[in-house]
Structure 1
Amino acid sequence: MFTGIIESTSKIIAIEKDQSNIHFTLENKLAAEFKVDQSVSHDGVCLTVVELNGNQYKVTAIKETLEKTNLSTWKAGGLVNMERAMLMNARLDGHIVQGHVDQIATCIEKSQQDGSWVFSFRYNPDSNNVTIEKGSICINGVSLTVVNSKTDSFSVAIIPYTYEHTGFKYLQVDDKVNLEFDVIGKYVKRLMSL
């Protein structure tokens, strides 16, 4: 379980295909604090640390993860948002994030507005995921508030701190992002359909 408050970015060092899996070697100054078997969020995807070597660590993505996320677009040298699992005795500064991506979306607009940035995203509504105005959404692991909620799109406003300390400063129009819709909303929607 995560909060959507990004600790830092990890650099992708190597990508190794192994049958239908992909092993990613990443570098982060916090890796010395990791342990094998630990769950770590990478752009909102919960991946297990399988190997450690100083400031470098390795995680593995299986076929299903690769099909439902933007991990297949990762390139060596790229940066991804990183968050370690939430401590149960700490404040929940973002919202409840599982690290289980629901689907991908495409960035359709990026604009600077009075010192902040507004990003708009479009997603396929066929999966029946929904956003609500002022509700929570997790984009590439970042906990954000929805504005301009529509059936197949929404926007978020990014403050300067978040812009500078996450991968949002590199995000461009047409880039694919991972979406995790609010877990409470997903349960309510499911209960309403019974």
Structure 2
Amino acid sequence: MFTGIITAVGTIREAQQKGDLRAVIACPYDPARIAIGASIACSGVCLTVVERGGSAGDAWFAVDISGETVSRTVPGMWQHGAQLNLEQAMKLGDELGGHIVTGHVDGIGSVVGTCPVGDSTRIGISAAAELAPYIAAKGSITVNGVSLTVNEVSDQADGTCHFALNIIPHTAEVTTLGALRAGDAVNLEIDVLARYLMRMQSLRG
């Protein structure tokens, strides 16, 4: 389980197809605090550490990425040199600073535009029709692993929706969201509470 509060940005150092895709990710963690078998969310995708090494502040860990995971995440995100938002799994007693995040991508969204608002950046994202009912103003959503609050939602005639987010300077600096531009694809995970509420509503109906 995760909170959507990013603790580091990692870079894919190696990516090799070995049955599954094996990626080696460089990061500023302490390898002594990365356990084999531990879960780390990589831009919103929960992956299992199979190797690790390096030194404190200059570590690396390896993960195996199945074809199913590759097919359901942003195209090209597992290539050499790609940057990933990282979050280690929360421990009992940790502060829940964002919201409950599972690390399972529900769909891929597309950035429709960005614009400055004060010192922050407003980002508009298009979500597919199957995700639209789960996205609500002032609700939570995970974008590339980052827990964010939806500012507003605009439903489209084709069933899709556009939603707006406000990215403060700190978030832009410590995650990859500051580099997003129109046309970029992003991993989306809807709020797990919204998922259960929609299921309950469908059963009542």
- Normalised by the size of structure 2, how large is the TM-score? 0.89
Stretches of structure 2 that go unaligned for 5 or more consecutive residues are 156-160
Q: Give CA-to-partner distance per residue, 1:139-190, whole Å, 9 cap, x none.
A: 0010000012133220100111101110012222111110000000100101
The percentage of counterpart residues that share the same residue type is 35
1:87 matched residue in structure 2: 91
Distance 2:18 2:127 in 1: 30
Q: Give CA-to-partner distance per residue, 1:57-93, whole Å, 9 cap, x none.
A: 1111111111111164333122110000012202211
Contact 2:23–2:78 (8 Å) recurs in 1: no
Q: Give CA-to-partner distance per residue, 1:101-138, whole Å, 9 cap, x none.
A: 10010111111111000111112113565200100000
Distance 1:37 1:31 in 2: 16
Contact 1:39–1:85 (8 Å) recurs in 2: yes
Q: How does 1:1-194 map to 2 (within 5 A)?
A: 1-19=1-19, 21-32=20-31, 33-54=33-54, 55-70=59-74, 72-126=76-130, 129-151=133-155, 152-194=161-203
Secondary structure of the 1:37 match is coil
Greater Cα shift, 57-66 or 93-102: 57-66
Secondary structure of the 1:155 match is strand
Considering only aligned residues, what root-mean-square deviation do their CA atoms show, in Å?
1.4
Secondary structure of the 2:153 match is coil
Distance 1:64 1:180 in 2: 16
Change (3 A) 1:35 1:85: same
Question: How much does 1:52 deviate?
Answer: 1.2
Count matched residues: 193
